Amino acid sequence: MTSVKELSKRKDIFCAGHRACSGCAPAITMRQVTLAADTNLVAGLSTGCMEVVSSIYPYTAWRSSFIHNAFENVAATISGVEAAYRVLKRKGKLSANYKFIAFGGDGGTYDIGLQSLSGAMERGHQMLYLCYDNQGYMNTGIQRSSSTPFGAATSTTPAGVKIPGKQQFQKDLTEIMVAHNLAYVAQASIGYYRDLNKKVEKALAAPGPSFINVLSCCHRGWRIDPADSLKYSKLGVDTCLWPLYEVEDGVYKLSMKPREKLPLEEWLKGQGRFNHLFKPENADMLKKFQEYVDKKWERLLWKCGEGKEKTKEAGK
């Protein structure tokens, strides 16, 4: 793992002058991930916040080669570039080495881009797919995605009198990617950036396609103070809603076990999108959410070989 001091000697790939919101956590994710690459890089982005803020013609925040195609097809697009690379190498027409990273938000990854992602991973293109998961379609005005947490208020799941926010739990995309038998799969958070950095380096060195799902708060969508973007990305981990783990060759490994597992409320409170959950009439929802998180956490511990006797039950 490269130290921050060493990294600071590198030139940023995702450079200043992009037009992300002040305090944007996904922008930090883009910066840190591309800094870790440290090689010739082709980055691709699905349509979304990070794409629109970084490549407004005639400006580009990308110092590496960069391609945007559409919302749902960044994995297929990078498949094509990677195939072009392989053929050029094979024919001796290119001497430089390249790495490939496809970036997508949760909308472009969990939802509309899932088919393209699954196809590219199954075909085994040598690329890292990195999802910056901010739990909603933030670029289009904060609508629900299948990554939006239970209870959250979004533009399409408002905290109504009859239906208070989103009624479904998050899709577990990381698990879906584990089922693709990839060389490397990991869950990370921008709140734990040293862990993220380590994982990106690992993923880029993996012999085959890799996938990292990074919790990257959107302060506008989560309705928090921009300066707290990292704090809430971290609290997601500390409450075990978003555990940090990695799966190499099918073997689960917990990256970090919180010293003290915080109650979910610690993450929920202060986020405007969950305000309504603290009303007395929604107490059941809070309880249900906490139970869900506990169960998933126990199951993960069991998968990572850290489960207690009783958690073995949970794993079944």
Partner 1 sequence: MSKLKGWKDIPIGAIVPHGGTAFDYETGSWRSFRPVHDRDKCIDCLDCWFCCPDNAILAEEGKFKGFDMMHCKGCGICAKVCPPKVGAITMKPESDFRE
Partner 2 sequence: MAKRLSTKRLALTGNEAVAEAFKQVNPDVAAVFPITPQTELMHKFAEYVNDGKVDTELIAVESEHSAMSAAVGAAAGGVRAITATSANGLALMWEILYIAAGMRLPIVMALVNRSLGGPLNIHCDHGDAMGARDAGWIHIYSENTQEAYDNTLQAFRIAEHREVMLPTMITLDGFIISHTTEVLEILDDETAKSFVGEYKPLTSLLNPDQPVTMGSLALPDYYFEHKRQLVEGMYNAPRVIEQVAKEYYELTGRQYGFLENYRMEDAEAAIVVMGSAAGTTKEVVDSLRDRGVKAGMIKLRVFRPFPHEQLANALSHLNSVAVLDRCISYGAQGGPVFGEVRSAMYGKTIPVHSYIYGLGGRDLTPHMVESAYNDLFEGKSDPRMRYLGLRE
Binding flag, residue 215, partner 2 (CB under 8 A): no
Chosen from partner 1, partner 2, none, partner binding at 22 (C-beta under 5 to 8 Å by type): partner 1
Binding flag, residue 42, partner 2 (CB under 8 A): yes
Judged by CB under 8 A, the residue of 37, 49, 61, 101 near partner 1 is: 61
How many angstroms separate the CA atoms of 277 and 226, rounded? 22
Residue 143's contacts (CB-CB under 8 Å, 6 or more residues apart) are 136, 137, 154, 155, 156
CB of 82 to partner 1, least distance (A): 20
Instruction: Give the x/- contact pattern for partner 2 in 114-153, rule: CB under 8 A.
Output: -xx-xxx-xx------------------------------
How many angstroms separate the CA atoms of 230 and 90, rounded? 43
145 in Cβ contact with 229 (< 8 Å): no
CB of 223 to partner 2, least distance (A): 26
φ/ψ of 51, rounded to 5, equals -70, -50
Binding flag, residue 57, partner 2 (CB under 8 A): yes
CB of 14 to partner 1, least distance (A): 8
Binding flag, residue 295, partner 2 (CB under 8 A): no
Helix (H) or strand (E) holding 98: strand 98-105
Judged by CB under 8 A, the residue of 33, 37, 51, 62 near partner 1 is: 62
How many angstroms separate the CA atoms of 135 and 237, rounded? 14
**Which of 64/156 has CB closer to partner 1?**
64
Chosen from partner 1, partner 2, none, partner binding at 7 (C-beta under 5 to 8 Å by type): partner 1
**Which of 214/285 has CB closer to partner 1?**
214
Nearest to 184 by CA among 197, 169, 201, 172: 201
3-state class (DSSP) for residue 65: strand
> By CB neighbour count within 10 A (0-12 exposed, 13-18 middle, 19+ buried), where does 57 fall?
exposed
Chosen from partner 1, partner 2, none, partner binding at 283 (C-beta under 5 to 8 Å by type): none
Using CB under 8 A, which of the segments 70-78, 150-158, 204-212, 269-277 binds partner 2? 70-78
176 in Cβ contact with 201 (< 8 Å): no
Nearest to 84 by CA among 141, 44, 142, 27: 44
Other CB atoms closer than 10 Å to residue 58's CB: what's the count?
Answer: 5
Judged by CB under 8 A, the residue of 20, 36, 85, 234 near partner 2 is: 85
Sites of contact with partner 2 (CB under 8 A): 40, 42, 44, 51-52, 55-58, 60, 62-70, 72-73, 75-88, 90-91, 94, 96, 98, 115-116, 118-120, 122-123
Sites of contact with partner 1 (CB under 8 A): 4-9, 12, 14-25, 27-28, 31-32, 54-66, 193, 226-231
